Amino acid sequence: MTDILEARKLTKRFGGLTAVSELSFAVREREILGLIGPNGAGKSTTFNIIAGAYRADSGEISFLREPIAGLPPHEIARRGVMRTFQHNLPFEGMSVLENVLVGAHTRFGGNLFSRKAAAEEREQHAHAERLVEFVGLGELRYASVDRLSFGQGRLLEIARALAGAPKLILFDEPAAGLTRAEAQRIATVIRGIAERGIAVLLIEHDMHFLLPLAHRVVVLNFGAKIAEGTPDEVRSHPAVLDAYLGHAAAV
């Protein structure tokens, strides 16, 4: 399988602290790649560099063989990399469906007054309805987002990201703050996304959630990669057990 996203020797420092150090990894087509590590391992920093929120001090990122490091977030989205937010960042003044339509922003042609514009709007509207249905919020499509529970808000994040027709979707700790049942629902949705042929990069510190879901796993500790492989390989890797000491028994 070919690589869709490739990170090479990413390094990011905050003052004297090196949050990410010479990190290299690749996301392959159609796979769910998990990026895990204990708190402070550099997962979020890596995520934010890929999404364009942070700029790496050095290193390169290519997406579909084009360099994307240093591009602003909206340009990265335009190239087909969409993301969700760990703390759910909905557009508060809009309905569920309108939120999803904002996710489709990059799919509109531009001209607002052409005859095509109305057809385009209808087409995206229908697509957004299908996505809202796919994540299980169909009943709430016209509801204001403040009526959603935290777990439903997370599903909305996913539908909104999918509306941009991404080739790669980035999940920032999608199970954080959810009940076990809600997390299972999210896991099912993420599997469905991968089955649609969309590559998934998932950062997560909860191994129970991630290991059954990911096809491959990259383990970080203190900003560096300490292991990489299938969930089974990683589960028994001595460096991983060491980093997760305490959690390790539970894994």
Partner 1 sequence: MRSALGWVAAAVLLSAVAFFLSGYYNDVYRKLLLWIALALSYNFLFGISGQVAFSHFAFYGIGAYAVVIFLFQLGMPLPLAILAGVLVCSAIALIVAIPSTRLEGFYLALATLALAQLFIVVLNEGGAVTGGTGGLVNYRLPAIFGVYITGPWYTAVIVILVLGTYALLRHLDRSWFGRACRAVRDNPEAAAAMGVNVARTKVIAFTLTSVLAGIAGMVYAFVDNTVNPPIFGLENAFLLLFMVIIGGSGRHAGAIVGAVLLYLLPFVLSPLIGHHHALVFGALMVVVILLQPRGLIGLYDRYPRGQKAH
Number of helices (H), then strands (E), in the chain: 9, 10
Helices (H), the chain: 43-51, 73-78, 96-103, 115-134, 150-162, 180-195, 207-210, 231-235, 238-243
Nearer to partner 1, 101 or 137 (CB): 101
Question: Out of 12, 43, 83, 237, which residue is the one contacting partner 1 (CB under 8 A)?
Answer: 83
Closest separation in Å from C-beta 128 to partner 1: 11
* Binding track, positions 136-165, relative to partner 1; x by CB under 8 A: ------------------------x---x-
Taking residue 197's Cβ as centre, other Cβ atoms within 10 Å add up to 9
Mark the segment that binds partner 1 (CB under 8 A) among 31-39, 98-106, 132-140, 232-240: 98-106
Nearer to partner 1, 120 or 244 (CB): 120
Residue 106 sits in the site that holds partner 1 (CB under 8 A): yes
Mark the segment that binds partner 1 (CB under 8 A) among 6-14, 117-125, 133-141, 193-201: 117-125
Interatomic CA distance for residues 221 and 110, integer angstroms: 44
Closest separation in Å from C-beta 180 to partner 1: 27
Nearer to partner 1, 202 or 240 (CB): 202
Closest separation in Å from C-beta 202 to partner 1: 16
Taking residue 94's Cβ as centre, other Cβ atoms within 10 Å add up to 14
Interatomic CA distance for residues 213 and 36, integer angstroms: 12
Interatomic CA distance for residues 251 and 248, integer angstroms: 5
* Binding track, positions 22-61, relative to partner 1; x by CB under 8 A: -----------------------------x-x--------
Interatomic CA distance for residues 133 and 93, integer angstroms: 21
Reported residue count of the chain is: 251
Question: Out of 74, 122, 180, 196, which residue is the one contacting partner 1 (CB under 8 A)?
Answer: 74
Terminal Cα distance for the chain, rounded: 29
**Count of residues that interact with partner 1, criterion CB under 8 A:** 31
- Residue pair 174/204 in contact (Cβ under 8 Å)? The answer is yes
Residues contributing to the site for partner 1 (CB under 8 A): 51, 53, 72-74, 77-78, 82-83, 85, 89-94, 98, 101-106, 108, 112-113, 117, 121, 124, 160, 164
